[in-house]
């Protein structure tokens, strides 16, 4: 993953283990103070939030533990972290190649595991690639990348 993605995960983990845990613990305590827990919707919701939060903490810890920070290589080939400018049928587009957990297609961050990402990785300036999609083939010419 990129350094930005790792930093975001570390920040999210910090938030979930401090602020969010404390907020949920306070919600659970307030719900307990209301009395009978068997029919206490606030208590049930707070416990569910606790479970979700702890699950997310576990996911992030595994991602961080198993992560390798990758920077764009100067190999002359597209890879993780590369920002790629392509010419397509509808004009020019720019994509950043990121890991699966960083993907954000709305902001042109595409996973190296996506069809377009897979087609672009290991290519170089001037190469042409074809990507199969359910709506047909997309053709791209790589204009530049960094």
Each residue's pLDDT tens digit, 12-55: 999 999 999 999 999 999 988 888 777 788 999 999 999 999 99
What are the residues whose beta carbons fall under 8 Å from the beta carbon of 78, sequence distance 6 or more? 84, 97, 120, 121, 122, 123, 124, 142, 145
Take residue 77 and report the two structure tokens written for it.
């080939």
Query: What residues does CATH 3.10.50.30 cover in the chain?
Result: 83-145
Query: What residues does CATH 1.10.287.180 cover in the chain?
Result: 3-65
Q: Where are the alpha helices (DSSP H) in 1-136?
A: 3-15, 21-33, 41-65, 115-120
Give the pTM: 0.65
State CA 35 to chain mean position distance.
41
- Mean pLDDT to the nearest integer, 96-107: 92
- Cα dist from 8 to 18, 37, 52, 94, 110, whole Å: 15, 37, 19, 22, 17
Second CATH level (architecture) for the domain 83-145: Roll (3.10)
Range 3-65 classified under CATH 1.10.287.180: yes
Percentage of residues in the chain having pLDDT higher than 70 = 97
- Cα dist from 126 to 77, 89, 102, 108, whole Å: 11, 16, 27, 20
Q: What is the rounded CA–CA span in Å between residue 80 and residue 59?
A: 22
């Amino acid at each position: 993953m990129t350094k930005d993605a790792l930093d975001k995960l570390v920040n999210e983990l910090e938030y979930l283990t401090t602020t969010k845990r404390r907020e949920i613990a306070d919600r659970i305590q307030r719900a307990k103070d209301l009395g009978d827990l068997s029919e206490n919707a606030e208590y049930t919701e707070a416990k569910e939030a606790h479970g979700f939060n702890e699950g997310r903490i576990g996911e992030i810890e595994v991602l961080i533990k198993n992560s390798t920070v990758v920077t764009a290589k100067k190999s002359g080939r597209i890879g993780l972290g590369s920002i790629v400018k392509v010419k397509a049928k509808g004009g020019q587009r720019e994509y950043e190649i990121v890991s699966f957990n960083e993907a954000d297609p709305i902001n042109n961050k595409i996973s190296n595991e996506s069809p377009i990402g897979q087609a672009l990785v290991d290519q170089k300036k001037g190469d042409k690639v074809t990507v199969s999609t359910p709506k047909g083939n997309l053709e791209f010419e790589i204009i530049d990348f960094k």
